[in-house]
Chain A
């Protein structure tokens, strides 16, 4: 109570300080008058009475001061005075303050951004009930030697889900989920949307609650139940149904790939937290069999990509759980699996929980980079401050001579550092807010289903604490060092304040440290940049110019063209319509998208007729129409191109396939298939060898040989890509393409539309952004170390003014002095570089995954970085050396 009164009154008093001051004066005056009157009435003269009254009253000024103390305004007004003082002093040193503020603002901004990204994408626990017991099962196939993680994994299946749910005693529950793309009719218009199919126990397993209505009942989850129900996400409900509370019970039409248009009854709206599994999905519907193979226990265990989430019992370790899963899958392999199933097991039979986020290694790399930047920033700021204290040494001595306590000086210094850093913090947070937006823009391309990043409150709070600590260290450490070891010479000129040995040693240590760190960063950046160049230099193997692609989403309208003849008729119409677009020279179809990144099929095994089974794996097979090679300008280097006669039975392989599997014979005429076909059935025959075309992306140059199969598009194909080569501009062609398609059937949706060049570009977004960011970080650290070296040498030169003057007076030539100063900068840099090389040699191994055609010990890169760095050190010491030359020896001697 008293405490709050005091605080309340202190604040009130701050605004009525003048009144208080007046009142106290008045009160005391009154008291003294009373005393004086009394003495006068006792017979004293007026002046004697006045004296006696004043004596009785005591030291009025001191008493007033005591009163002021009690108002509690002193702390605040002192603080205001200190802040004012520090701003004045910061303004006086505009250059240094500006450098410190910018340095720290950039460091704080960058770190806050990437920490937020790292936290929200990787480290943050899922917003579900008891996330620590929840795991996602992956059937991993890393033994296929795959380089890209996404290829090494297969998600789980209905089959595994059912068995684990029924038979495992270690789990508290399982749930299945997978994303689908369907056509949803929203407010009268058909749109391509993402939805999620979930098993009935999904919501319960996640501990999610309905915002409105309810979730699926067990009966509704029965795949044979004709009643169709749907749960909307909160975002969809708010954005597309204006949060209408009467939505429950209404019908939503969804065209999916099995039944065509179906009306779903809305039974609930799910709260927003559950959207973490797919930020773009608009709804949930119960899990259904979309393919007759799903339910086939012998075959389907590794065939479908569904997310299987498992909640472990609280005391069950992940290893124990994995062991049980492995033994159940082993049993399935030995007792139940058919041949296709067994092949899946052989490929994906290793199991893992919780595969890392696809951006994880990028984020760790970037965060490491920004931490290094911060380290250099702190080195630099510390160093500048050490120099500042030394420069202010004279002022400090005067202060203490005038009676300022160390306490006061310390407070002043702290406030000064703190104001500086507070400005930097403000700017840094602003910077972080902007960069998070930029990052979200990239994220939308790189990982669309991820929820956007937020600048995390805890990270902002953490930055604040860090700032306070830094202010304390930065403000007080140099001061402490100065007090302990600094001295002032009898001479009273400012320049004579001698910085101590300790602070000098500390400052060279920091130069060496920042040079080492900045060098390491530079090495990383150059390696990434060179890799990027090498990737860009990869010959795609086809000509991407003038080619436009569009991915036709066939799935949603498939049900309307159920008969084979209807489907092939539609395809024929599409083909001829495309061909009729003005300027179009070639039209081709391909099953998998070009560069779209959406199709990352696992390795395919193949068998050669009449030869023992081959243990090797292919990476990629692709069904194409006969015009593919002409449209893409991919040369056939052996054998022949497809022709109209060999539908479905002809195969063209690429160079890589030949060099990998048939290095010493021609593959032409061999018959191959992904399974051993029964007698009497014709095998696909290799008719030609094409030039290697990196149609899966430039970085996949050495990764996976490709088999092209000449196969017509089937009813079962959900999507395929149309390729058009034309002489016209891409925008016109795309427009015509879209209008032609919607004339054929308005439900035909074209996705991933654009030129091939754009698609190649998009594939490189990840690599480009990381190269760019690391480049920026490296430039910043380089700039900081330039400043750091400059500041130290310049300061040192100003201290040695007299010495240099004397040297030149007694005959040292200009070049000797110049060299002396340059040497000083260089010697520290060289020590720093030596440390930097060792650190880089060690750390660059962690970069290996990001490198392309570059060795981590590439001497050329080290050489370039060394040259860059030595030039930086030379530039940094050049200016102070120039200044040293201008010192007038006469003046230096006169000062003696």
Chain B
């Protein structure tokens, strides 16, 4: 089975996008990634945490302890205003980049 790892910076974008829907804990974020990417993008699940920690550090997200659906204590992450702004910027960048790459790939095929 080939393992598609996340390209640099994409993981953060994905996390931002998921948190945009509402606060979520680490495990939940991992599940959503699996669900949405249909397991095409396989994340070494632990690597979520350094990424989350980095984003907290930069002030994009903030965290708070709460109780999860199955009644366990869990740390919930939430987008800050700065994170909101970053999300839209990163999304535009990403779109522009993928579009450019797609265009290049198209050209190669012809």
The answer to whether A2 and B82 have CB atoms under 8 Å apart is yes
Q: Residue-by-residue, is B69-104 near A (CB-CB < 8 Å gives 1, otherwise 0)?
A: 000111100000010000000000000000000000
Instruction: Please tell me which one of the listed residues A9, A28, A60, A63 contacts residue B56 in the complex, with CB atoms under 8 A apart.
Output: A9
B23 is an interface residue with CB less than 8 A from chain A: no
The answer to whether A70 and B46 have CB atoms under 8 Å apart is no
Write out the residue numbers on chain B whose beta carbons fall within 8 Å of the beta carbon of A31: 26-27, 30, 45-46, 49
B50 is an interface residue with CB less than 8 A from chain A: yes
The answer to whether A30 and B59 have CB atoms under 8 Å apart is no
Write out the residue numbers on chain B whose beta carbons fall within 8 Å of the beta carbon of A5: 57-59, 82
Q: Known interface pairs A27-B26, A57-B45. Does A71 touch B57 (Cβ–Cβ under 8 Å)?
A: yes
The answer to whether A58 and B44 have CB atoms under 8 Å apart is yes
B53 is an interface residue with CB less than 8 A from chain A: yes
Question: In the complex, what residue of chain A is closest to B42 when comparing beta carbons?
Answer: A56
Question: In the complex, what residue of chain A is closest to B75 when comparing beta carbons?
Answer: A27
The answer to whether A63 and B49 have CB atoms under 8 Å apart is yes
The answer to whether A23 and B46 have CB atoms under 8 Å apart is no
Q: Known interface pairs A34-B27, A58-B44. Does A6 touch B57 (Cβ–Cβ under 8 Å)?
A: yes
Write out the residue numbers on chain A whose beta carbons fall within 8 Å of the beta carbon of B27: 30-31, 34
CA A66 to CA B45, docked complex, whole Å: 14
The answer to whether B74 and A30 have CB atoms under 8 Å apart is yes
A187 is an interface residue with CB less than 8 A from chain B: no
The answer to whether B50 and A70 have CB atoms under 8 Å apart is yes
The answer to whether A67 and B26 have CB atoms under 8 Å apart is no
A24 is an interface residue with CB less than 8 A from chain B: yes
B46, B73, B82 pick with most chain A CB within 10 angstroms: B46
Write out the residue numbers on chain B whose beta carbons fall within 8 Å of the beta carbon of A71: 53, 57
CA A202 to CA B102, docked complex, whole Å: 79
CA A70 to CA B53, docked complex, whole Å: 6
Q: Known interface pairs A56-B45, A58-B47, A63-B46. Does A30 touch B72 (Cβ–Cβ under 8 Å)?
A: yes
Q: Residue-by-residue, is B18-34 near A (CB-CB < 8 Å gives 1, otherwise 0)?
A: 00000000110010000
Question: In the complex, what residue of chain A is closest to B44 when comparing beta carbons?
Answer: A58
Write out the residue numbers on chain A whose beta carbons fall within 8 Å of the beta carbon of B46: 28, 31, 57-60, 63
A35 is an interface residue with CB less than 8 A from chain B: yes
The answer to whether A67 and B45 have CB atoms under 8 Å apart is no
The answer to whether B59 and A9 have CB atoms under 8 Å apart is yes
The A730-754 residues at the B interface (CB cut-off 8 A) are: none
CA A9 to CA B56, docked complex, whole Å: 9
Question: In the complex, what residue of chain B is closest to A34 when comparing beta carbons?
Answer: B27
The answer to whether A63 and B47 have CB atoms under 8 Å apart is yes
Q: Known interface pairs A23-B75, A31-B30. Does A70 touch B57 (Cβ–Cβ under 8 Å)?
A: yes
The A486-517 residues at the B interface (CB cut-off 8 A) are: none
The answer to whether B82 and A1 have CB atoms under 8 Å apart is yes
Question: In the complex, what residue of chain B is closest to A20 when comparing beta carbons?
Answer: B53
A635 is an interface residue with CB less than 8 A from chain B: no
Question: In the complex, what residue of chain A is closest to B28 when comparing beta carbons?
Answer: A34
The A53-108 residues at the B interface (CB cut-off 8 A) are: 56-60, 63, 66-67, 69-72
Q: Residue-by-residue, is A43-60 near B (CB-CB < 8 Å gives 1, otherwise 0)?
A: 000000000000011111
Identify the B interface with A (CB < 8 A): 26-27, 30, 44-47, 49-50, 53-54, 56-59, 72-75, 82
Known: A30-B72, A57-B44, A57-B45. 16 other contacts (CB 8 A): A5-B57, A5-B59, A6-B59, A9-B57, A10-B57, A30-B74, A31-B30, A31-B45, A31-B49, A57-B46, A58-B44, A63-B49, A66-B47, A67-B50, A70-B53, A71-B57
Pick the 10 closest A-B CB pairs, nearest first.
A5-B59, A66-B50, A58-B46, A58-B44, A70-B54, A57-B46, A63-B46, A70-B53, A67-B53, A34-B27
A-B contact list, 22 entries, CB within 8 Å: A1-B82, A5-B57, A5-B58, A5-B59, A6-B58, A9-B56, A9-B59, A26-B75, A27-B49, A30-B26, A30-B27, A30-B73, A30-B74, A31-B26, A31-B49, A34-B27, A58-B46, A58-B47, A66-B49, A66-B53, A67-B50, A67-B53
